[in-house]
Amino acid sequence: MTVVSYVGPDFEPSPPRRPRRRPLTVALAALVPGALLGWVVYEAVGGPDGGSAGAVGTPVSSRAPASPTASEPTDSGNDDAKQPSPTPATSAPATSSPGTSAPAASGPLKGKVIVIDPGHNPGNFQHTAEINRKVNIGTNWKECDTTGTSTNAGYAEAEFTLDVAHRMRTLLQAQGATVKLTQDGDRPYGPCVDERARIGNAAHADAVVSVHADGSAAGNRGFHVILPGSVHAGAADTRPIVAPSRRLGERIAGNFVRVTGSAPSNYIGDGTGLDTRTDLGGLNLSTVPKVFVECGNMRDSKDEALLTSGAWRQKAAQGISEGIVSFLRG
């Protein structure tokens, strides 16, 4: 994936030019628009909290919800059924409908469709009856959705996933891809896990990535990528997508390490950063290559410092995006 420079223009005044210097003047004039374009991209990608300009470990803004108590159960990584947390999250304003995308630019991914699935929803905590409704995932019935987890300081997973998804969308659209989101904080709850799968299927996506963060015990650190196992039951048949999904997951894992510097999980995947599961509706019901990415553990203080940093979230978005690009370009 092409790396875009985010350094803004910084030019020293030029000395008086003699006529014989005119070719240099023309060359400098040609460079100025490119530098200004880099600055515009920086401003667009930076995000409301400083984006890639932030420092690692910088706290998130005060709009995060209150902290869960230490006695609350931690999340064991059961993504489709993370235990609902009593911690409310601030709902994002409605900006676009799920599955919409700005017109794609020309680039190496022109003609490719990528679906980003930001895990959970900021409004889920207000709709516990709806998200606890069971849906069929092929192998069994499971909750429609959950609230997700949060850091000990109250930064909600649903807020994290939307932020990373937005950053990924910007990066991938710059490569020419058509990018669709399963939700953009613009619906009261959900969508349910079966609908999330259907959105990717209906888009005939070339790749789908569900963005999450884990809620395991303190001391458990690192990221992992969840791959679909072979399932053939009811409406679920992952057999055609198991191999391409593994390739997608491997490319994402490798690029995530390279870009973020984060290590693979020390508690899932035996150090590979890869975990295969057959109990997640979002994977079981997919008919296109799809993986989940658990970017880190929100309940570990060291991972929390990363996940709450705008600069690190930009690196996470870039690592995942470059993995997708590597997969799609073969």
DSSP-assigned letters across all residues of 60-113:
PPTTSPPPPPTTSPPP-S-GGGPPPPS---PPPPP-S-TT--PPPPSSTTTT-E
pLDDT of amino acid 296: 98
Of 155, 151, 146, residue with least CA distance to 189: 146
Kindly state the tokens that stand for 56: 């690692």
Higher-confidence residue: 162 or 70?
A: 162
Work out the average pLDDT over 203-229.
98
Helix (H, G, I), strand (E, B) or coil at 35: helix
Q: 168 to each of 13, 176, 313, how far by Cα in Å?
A: 37, 13, 10
60-329 belongs to which homologous superfamily?
Zn-dependent exopeptidases (3.40.630.40)
Task: Tell me where in the chain the CATH 3.40.630.40 domain(s) lie.
Answer: 60-329
Q: Is position 250 annotated as part of the catalytic site? A: no
Q: Which amino acid is at 93?
A: P
* b/e per residue 103-142 (b: at least 16 CB within 10 A): ebeebebeebbbbbbbbbbbbbbebeeebeeebebbbeeb
Q: How far apart are CA 270 and CA 247, in angstroms?
A: 18
By the 8 A CB rule, do 319 and 253 touch? Answer: no
Work out the average pLDDT over 249-261.
98
pLDDT of amino acid 162: 98
| 48-57, 122-131, 309-318: segment of lowest average pLDDT | 48-57
Catalytic residue among 143, 157, 195, 294: 294
pLDDT of amino acid 104: 57
pLDDT of amino acid 106: 84
Q: Which amino acid is at 217?
A: A
